[in-house]
Each structure stands twice: as C-alpha cells, then as structure tokens.
C-alpha cells in the first residue's frame, strides 16, 4: 500500500446538460481549471453509456466485460481525476438503472447526458500523484511522487 496525505482545495459544483458527453465535459473542466487531482461524486441521468462490469477471467491484464445502454438510465457515481501523460484522466465507477435493469461498473467511452448530471468536485491539494500505465496490470494506477526527504 502507498498513500499520500493532503487537504481539500477548491470545490466545484457542475451542471452537465442534456446531450453533452459527461466524461469529455469533465476533462474539459479539469483542463480549464488546471485540476491535477480531485475526487468527485455525481447524480443524474445518461441517455447512453458503456460500462466495464468486470474481467472475463480472474487474470491480469484483464479482458473487460462490457455492458452498454442506449436508453435513458439514472446514474449515481464516484470517481477521481489524476493526470496521465500530462492530461486529465477520469476514473468513474457508477451504478445505472432503468426499471429493473441495473448495472454497476467503470464508465468508459461516450456517455451522453439525458436531461442533466450534477457533479460535485473536491480538488486535492498537497498530493503529488499521477496515473502511469502498468502493462502487467493492464491499466494506469495512481502513482505517488514523493519528495526526496520523504523517501
């Protein structure tokens, strides 16, 4: 286990509107506001989306299982923002539902908003971290950059 200690910085309340791409809008905001690291929660609805709902087999790197939808689903999610290769990377796990259809997973790719999604972003200060691709695991986990006197 590795960890870093920091504090909450700026707080953003964001409305993402009907027809917007949720993930792209979060990336644009992170670029505009120069958000290097943050956690966020959201609620609202998506018209379409794709979720990774687990690995096909319990091995690394995993081959993802995909579940998608193209009709309005409610969404409730939590995620984070860290830099990867100098750009904001959104990692969002969400539950979506419509009637008896419930899905839970990592939202990736296009994510068109239905009506509205409200996002509450809490910037993290004092944490030097970024995402770095790990070929063995098949994804980019958060890596902490410690100052020389902390090692």
Q: Is the pLDDT of residue 2 over 60?
A: yes
Tens of pLDDT, residue by residue over 5-61, are 999 999 999 999 999 999 999 999 999 999 999 999 999 999 999 999 999 999 989
More confident residue, 46 or 147: 46
The whole-number average pLDDT for the span 99-113 is 95
**C-beta neighbour count of 37 within 10 angstroms:** 22
Share of the chain above pLDDT 70, in %: 96
Q: Is the pLDDT of residue 147 over 80?
A: no
Q: Is the pLDDT of residue 109 over 50?
A: yes
CB of 108 closer than 8 Å to CB of 52: yes
Name beta bridge partners: 80.
39, 91
Give whole-number Cα distances, 70 to 94, 97, 105, in Å: 16, 12, 16
pLDDT of 151 reads 44
User: Quick one: DSSP state of residue 139?
Assistant: B
How far apart are the C-alpha atoms of 45 and 48, rounded to whole Å?
9
User: Quick one: DSSP state of residue 144?
Assistant: E
Q: Residue 121: how many CA atoms within 13 Å on its side-chain side? A: 27
- Indicate the pLDDT class of residue 110, thresholds 50, 70 and 90: confident
């Amino acid at each position: 286990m590795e960890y870093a200690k920091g504090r909450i910085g700026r707080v953003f309340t964001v409305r993402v509107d009907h027809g917007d791409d949720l993930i792209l809008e979060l990336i644009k905001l992170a670029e505009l506001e120069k958000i290097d690291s943050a956690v966020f929660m959201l609620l609202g609805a998506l018209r379409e989306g794709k979720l990774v709902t687990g690995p096909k087999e319990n091995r690394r790197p995993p081959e993802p299982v995909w579940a998608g939808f193209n009709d309005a689903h409610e969404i409730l999610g939590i995620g984070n923002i860290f830099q990867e290769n100098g750009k904001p990377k959104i990692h969002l796990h969400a539950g979506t539902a419509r009637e008896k259809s419930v899905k839970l997973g990592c939202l990736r790719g296009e994510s068109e908003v239905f009506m509205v999604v409200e996002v509450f972003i809490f910037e993290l200060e004092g944490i030097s971290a970024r995402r770095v691709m790990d070929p063995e695991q098949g994804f980019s986990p958060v890596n902490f950059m410690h100052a020389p006197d902390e090692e």
